[in-house]
Amino acid sequence: MATLVGRYIDSYCSRCRLTLAHVVLYEVNGVVSGVKCRTCGSEHRHRGPAPVKKNEIPAVRRFGGRLITAPKPVRPEANRLWELKNAATVPDVAVWDYGMTERYEQGDVIAHPSFGRGFVESTTMDKMEVLFRDGRKLLAMNRSGTALG
Ligand SMILES: [Zn+2]
């Protein structure tokens, strides 16, 4: 069986963090075991052409075994709509501070202390759907100060 000692072989270098050409230093039972990185010169065990699987665990699973939900990569449609509406709004538009005792109409522009600028899309007697930068929200309105809920 031909030996690979002295030949070049692709191996994963943990110092370079890349799969690179390595010189085979020695074999064990005909299997390449020790290699030397041609790039950084470090000598280590042969790890094969690709990183071992456990290095490929998605980042969302790395925090103490708890599953962390990654933020959605797709931009929400509501955000796109909000940007369009905001761009189409005249600079001196009347912006009403939000208060649940106030009454608003469809098309009003409001300022919410937490959600920022919002566009009133529809209203009922005591609720309104408002398009905010981070999505649509249903807000109370036209409520009396004493009978909340
Ligand atoms: Zn290296």
CA trace torsion 54, 60, 65, 68 (10° rounding): -170
Tell me which of 84-98, 108-122, 135-149 is least confident: 135-149
20 alpha carbon – ligand 1 mean position (Å): 7
Who's near 85: CB < 8 A, 6+ residues apart? 119, 131
Find the 51 Cα to ligand 1 centroid distance in Å. Answer: 13
Position 58 pLDDT exceeds 80: no
Tell me, in angstroms, the distance from the centre of ligand 1 to residue 41's CA.
6
Which pLDDT score, from 0 to 100, does residue 139 have? 96
Binned at pLDDT 50, 70 and 90, residue 127 comes out as very high
CB-based contact 11:46 (threshold 8 Å) = yes
On whether the CB atoms of residues 22 and 37 are closer than 8 A, the answer is: yes
Distance 90 CA to ligand 1 centre (A): 59
Q: How far is the CA of 99 from the centre of ligand 1 (A)?
A: 63
Q: Note the pLDDT tens digit of each residue in 20-34.
A: 999 999 998 888 899
Pairing of strands 43-45, 31-37: antiparallel
